[in-house]
Amino acid sequence: MKKGILTVVLSVLLSGLTAYGIVKSTAPAQSEAQQVVYSPDGQTVRTVNLSLSDYPDFTYAAENAVEAVVYVKVTVKSQQQQQYIDPFFRFFFGDEGMGGGRERQGSGSGVIIRPDGYIVTNNHVVSNATKIEVTLNNNKTYEATVIGTDPATDVALIKIDASGLPVVQFADSDKLRLGEWVLAIGSPLGEELRSTITAGIVSAKGRSMPNYDGEFKIESFIQTDAAVNPGNSGGALVNKEGELVGINTAIVSTTGSYTGYSFAVPSNIVKKVVSDLIDFGSVKRAMLGITGGTITEELAKKLNLSSPEGVYVSEIVKGAAADKAGIKAEDVILSIDGTKTATMPELQAKVNSYHPGDKASVQVFRGGKTMDVQVEFTDGSVKDGTVSSDGTVAFYGAQLKAVENGVLIVSAGNGKVARAGGEDGFIIRYVNDQKVSKPQDVIDIAKKSKRSIFIEGVTANGRPGYFGFGKDE
């Protein structure tokens, strides 16, 4: 019966294509069909024999990977209720706990990457959480602790006290191909739909999305049409072999629910970030030191490029890796160590795979010729006092800006300010008992401090607050 059904389906599909003059089909056997693909001028391009084996079987990938995907429940501090949340990530929280209580509940997903309890999820899932609970596919629940987070890639690493856990192996996300089948595994819409599996294809690679909060982001997302909804955030995107190719992170939607577009952080980025968090406690980010953008067709013609691919270098950071290697403004970066960098997100993703001090061969187009230059990456960490393009000022991992009644923490980041209790939306009024009105005041007072920095101000919900940390912690 199943073979008959397959033959009917193939006949319908192929006859539809035949109507457009593209495919001509025959049926050599009940479980097989043959298609002839023609070019627009009517010439035969190829003949393809279709059979049951041509249709993907996801059972192995699904049954194995689902065991390593967990449900993550978090309790979040109440003052975050008034915090601005990037609309692409807002779907994580859903409607649970959004009332006027002191705390609210949120949920997401995570992926076990080591049998001793290390779990990767999204930064926005566990950000500012006071309590994290992880429920495995076998219904066992554990309390988790945060090992480290990386807001720039929206990756976080948490750990539970367990051993012998099932894991998902990392795949090389650079080898993903457009049209390749993938599965999204997670807990959409809360605990009731835990361990849900959906299928789709890779729709695009190297995607970036608008950034509304002004923070630095590394975005080279995998776009898929696998259905992802609130609660899938932090879950697994796996290939047909059940290997991890990405961590589901965001959707683009006007309704808050899935409308056909979902995005995942590539596994190569995730692997590097979590490795750094385990080995160093923070991400060691390499920096090339350029400002630039993706090549347009008009610019490609002006530069005599054969195709509009590559990253146009508009500025060079003095003393950074690109400057020392001899890369110049108006150069076009085509690849790094043989990996094409057709867009700025792809370039960012590739650079992010290196550590400070690593060396790479960068292919550059200049004056009608291509050349290879050797680059030694520098440290990409932002120094205190550095002014970003959005006007915010760096301070112990946070981003500050002046407001009418003090200095606003635009982003607490992932440094000492955040670890000491500083939060987005906190207004700093005093540092070490001295009143401040601009970010430079905060930095100057902190520099003069011999041992510790004590900050007083107002929380995002208007309550008095304070926190402190040692300079040499």
- pLDDT of 196-221, one tens digit each? 899 999 998 888 765 544 445 666 88
448 near 454, Cβ under 8 Å?
A: no
d(CA 181, CA 115): 27
Q: Exactly one of 127, 220, 233, 262 is catalytic; which is it? A: 233
pLDDT value at 84 more than 70: no
Asked if residue 40 has pLDDT above 80, the reply is no
CA of residue 331 relative to chain centroid, distance: 28
> Does any domain span residue 71?
yes
Q: Which of 473, 471, 472 is CA-nearest to residue 443?
A: 471
Task: Give mean pLDDT, residues 126-151.
Answer: 91
Q: How far apart are CA 15 and CA 29, in angstroms?
A: 17
pLDDT for position 349: 84
409 occurs within a structural domain: yes
Q: Is 322 helix (H, G, I), strand (E, B) or coil?
A: helix
**At 295, is the secondary structure helix, strand, or coil?**
coil
pLDDT of residue 22: 37
Phi, psi of 206 (to 5 degrees): 70, 30
With CA atoms as reference, report the closest residue to 196 among 207, 185, 206, 204: 185
115 CB neighbour count, 10 Å cutoff: 13
Nearest-angstrom CA–CA distance, 103 and 387: 34
Domain boundary among 257, 283, 309: 283
Residue ending a domain, choose from 347, 379, 411: 379
Residues 130 and 256 in one domain: yes
Q: What is the pLDDT of residue 77?
A: 67
Residue 386 lies in a domain: no
Q: Which band of pLDDT confidence, cut at 50, 70 and 90, is reported for residue 283?
A: confident
Instruction: Identify whether residues 65 and 97 lie together within a single domain.
Output: yes
* Burial class of residue 13, CB neighbours in 10 A (0-12, 13-18, 19+): middle
Among residues 283, 307, 326, the one where a domain terminates is: 283
Residues 304 and 259 in one domain: no
- Quick check: is 388 in a domain? no
Calculate ∠ Cα 65-68-70, nearest 5°: 120
Residues 353 and 219 occupy one common structural domain: no
397 shares its domain with 374: no
- What is the DSSP code string of 145-201? EEEEEETTTTEEEEEES--S-----B--GGG--TT-EEEEEE-TTSGGGTTEEEEEE
One-letter identity of residue 68: A
Closest to 110 measured CA to CA, from 176, 159, 60, 152 = 159
Q: Which of 78, 109, 124, 220 is catalytic?
A: 124
Q: Specify the 3-state DSSP secondary structure of 98.
A: coil
For residues 264 and 261, give the distance between their C-alpha atoms in angstroms, rounded to a whole number: 10
Please choose, from the candidates 312, 357, 353, the residue with its C-alpha nearest in 3D space to the C-alpha of residue 332.
312
First-to-last C-alpha distance (Å) of the chain: 70
Catalytic residue among 78, 109, 154, 424: 154
Q: Does residue 226 carry a pLDDT above 80?
A: yes
Q: Which residues does 457 contact at the CB level (< 8 Å), separation at least 6?
A: 406, 426, 427, 428, 429, 430, 464, 465, 466
Q: Do 212 and 140 share a structural domain?
A: yes
In this structure, the answer to whether residues 247 and 107 fall within a common structural domain is: yes
- How much is the pLDDT for 174? 87
Q: Could you tell me if 292 and 362 lie in one domain?
A: yes
Position 15 in a domain = yes
232: amino acid identity, one letter: N
Residues 404, 362 share a domain? no
**Are 16 and 154 in a shared domain?**
no
Contact 349, 269 (CB under 8 A): yes
The pTM is what?
Answer: 0.65
Closest CA to 389 of 315, 443, 329, 284: 315
- pLDDT > 50? residue 98: no
**Number of domains observed in the structure of the chain:** 4
**416 pLDDT exceeds 50?**
yes
Domain membership of residue 385 (yes or no) is no
Residue 387 belongs to a domain: no
Residue 89 — pLDDT band, cuts 50, 70, 90? very low
Residue 233 among the catalytic residues: yes
d(CA 267, CA 221): 10
Tell me, yes or no, whether 407 and 367 share the same domain: no
pLDDT higher than 80, residue 331: yes
- Residue 271's CATH number: 2.40.10.120
Does residue 384 lie within any of the structural domains?
no
Q: Which residues pair with 171 in a beta bridge?
A: none
Average pLDDT of the residues in 81-94 = 41
Q: Are 218 and 349 in contact (CB under 8 A)?
A: yes
Q: Locate tokens 């997401």: which residue?
A: 108
* Average of per-residue pLDDT across 245-262: 78
Q: What is the 3-state secondary structure (H, E, C) of 241-277?
A: CCCEEEEEEEECCCCCCCCCCEEEEEHHHHHHHHHHH
* Shared-domain flag, residues 293 and 360: yes
Domain enclosing residue 299, as ranges: 286-379
CATH number of the structural domain spanning residue 450: 2.30.42.10
Nearest of 99, 163, 103, 151 to residue 126 by alpha carbon: 151
